[in-house]
Chain A
Amino acid sequence: MIVFEKVSKRYRSFQALTEVSGHIRRGEVVVLCGPSGSGKSTLVRTVNRLEEISSGRLVVDGVDVSDRRVNINEFRRGIGFVAQQFNLFPHLTALQNVSIGLYRLLKMPLREAEALAMEHLSRVGLAARAHRYPADLSGGEKQRVAIVRALAMNPKIMLLDEPTSALDPEMVGEVLNLLRTLAKGNLTILCVTHELGFAREVGDTVWFMDGGRLLEVAPPDRFFSSPQHPRAREFVAALDHG
């Protein structure tokens, strides 16, 4: 579903990704972890071309991401993206945040789009919050709206960049619960997270990155109990103590 072939990314003089190769199968849930600054966000953002890759090849659902001929907006519609900071549109209500894509992109009539958006929100228990603005939602609610906004477009792939890192501890659970249900479906998921329990439970594979390189790919149990790469060992040891 997603194939990285020696993907590199540099910002001027800084090498953010170095020859990352790996593939993610359809329906696979990949948990991406690694120390801060290791290039996790950059890697995730190359998948929907929020970051252009400098060299290598990246094929997503049969489409070469760097190909100038692909209709980028249509391509992105099939890939949900959820960031740490939610990035809800503050001037729109929760409902409008979800319906804007349906209305503008899937060209549904406004009523239908809002009805469908409401259905999506209800499914995650946010029906009562539908007409609130993001400023009047808790962090957990905002992130659930952001996830629903992405899901509403019916994507095949979900990219999540530390979806729970900006949340107060008591709100992490509600978002992880939602992500658990997602993981059970047939979505392909690439999720950056440091939630160990979550990674073990829903992850099919752990990708460990450091210094812009993909250093280890392993099933969660093996990765967290006996990491192979020295850097991975340090990382897991630090997690266990923290």
Chain B
Amino acid sequence: MIEILQQHWLFLLVGDYPKGPLGGLAMTLLITITSMVLAFPCAVLVALCRTSGIRLFVWPSTAFVYLIRGTPLLMLVFWIFFAGPVILGFTLSAFATIVIAIVSFQTAYLSEVIRGGIEGLPKGQTEAARALGLGYFVTTWKVILPQALYNVIPGILNNLTAIFKESSLAYVISLHELTFAALQVMNFEMRRPFQVLVLLAAIYFCCCFALSQTASWLEVRVARKRERDSGLIQPNAQLAQA
């Protein structure tokens, strides 16, 4: 296995880059990060619509979430891959296809996480802001979101882990990412397919493990901070700790 890694590490890391297209783990990370960066604001928007209490916004956003959650991601990929060009009138690159699929998919899930964060805040927060005379937007932007998003950072990280794994579906539309690279290595190393698969699994596992460990570590910190904010710990005890 070490041998395989020694021989193919560069290919697994960046694909044929710089001579050919970017691939391997680098591509997987690129898909993950691009998707996350795009899914996050979309998810915030959907979460705000769902918690707005205004039917015009609640209904479509709720329908969207239910629709996506009842669909396998793979089907979404195929839909965008085959139906996308017909609807749009131009072909989408494989990268765009997988990113659009993951962004739609994760917007639905992430918005639920964020909605939980918004609804989990004490009612008094919105009330205090509105009673001061702050409008909806200032209240949301300055009072609600900073707290709600902070509280769901662990959940957001977990979604990032999910995106990282989901990006492997790009294989089915021949996008050169980590899984694709590994399977090419497998073709090359005909006699050792099992070792290649173990290697692939190990790479995914290490990355995901690191992410989920970070998430649990943050979870403890966030929980502790929330406890402090809700006044369950005496201020003096906290100062002594600090």
Contact = CB atoms under 8 A, between A and B. Distances in A.
Please determine whether chains A and B interact with each other in the same assembly: yes
Interface of A: 48, 50, 73-77, 79, 81, 83, 85, 87-91, 100-101, 104-105, 134-139, 146, 149-150, 153
Contacts of B138: 104
Interface stretch (B20-28, B122-130, B160-168, B207-215): B122-130
A83 B128 contact: yes
Contacts of A150: 131-132
Given A85-B124, A89-B125, A138-B235, A105 B132 contact: yes
A76 B133 contact: yes
Interface residues of B toward A: which range?
20 to 34
Interface of B: 122, 124-125, 127-135, 138, 142-143, 146-147, 150, 225, 228-229, 231, 235, 238-239
A77 B133 contact: yes
Instruction: Please list the 4 inter-chain residue pairs (A to B) with the smallest Cβ-Cβ separation, ordered nearest first.
Output: A77-B133, A87-B124, A87-B128, A81-B131
Given A104-B138, A135-B229, A138-B235, A91 B150 contact: yes
Contact of B238 (A74, A90, A91, A135): A135
A149 B132 contact: yes
A101 B231 CA distance: 24
Contact of A90 (B131, B134, B229): B229
A221 to B, nearest CB: 32
Contact of B133 (A87, A134, A153): A153
A105 B228 contact: no
Given A85-B122, A138-B235, A50 B130 contact: yes
Nearest to A74: B133
Nearest to B227: A135
B231 A139 contact: yes
Main secondary structure of the interface of B (DSSP, over half): helix
Given A91-B146, A134-B229, A135-B225, 20 more contacts: A48-B131, A73-B135, A76-B133, A77-B132, A81-B132, A83-B124, A87-B125, A88-B128, A89-B125, A89-B129, A90-B147, A100-B134, A100-B142, A101-B132, A104-B138, A105-B134, A135-B235, A136-B239, A150-B131, A153-B132
Nearest to A89: B143
23 contacts: A73-B134, A73-B135, A74-B133, A76-B130, A76-B132, A76-B133, A81-B128, A87-B125, A88-B128, A89-B143, A89-B147, A91-B146, A104-B138, A105-B132, A105-B133, A105-B134, A135-B225, A135-B229, A135-B235, A136-B238, A136-B239, A149-B132, A153-B133
Nearest to A134: B229
Contacts of B128: 81, 83, 87-89, 146
Nearest to B124: A87
B190 to A, nearest CB: 58
B234 to A, nearest CB: 9
A105 B135 CA distance: 9
Contacts of A48: 131
In this complex, which of A79, A83, A135 has the most chain B Cβ atoms within 10 angstroms of its Cβ? A135
A135 to B, nearest CB: 4
Nearest to A100: B142
A142 to B, nearest CB: 8
Contacts of A137: 235
A73 B137 CA distance: 12
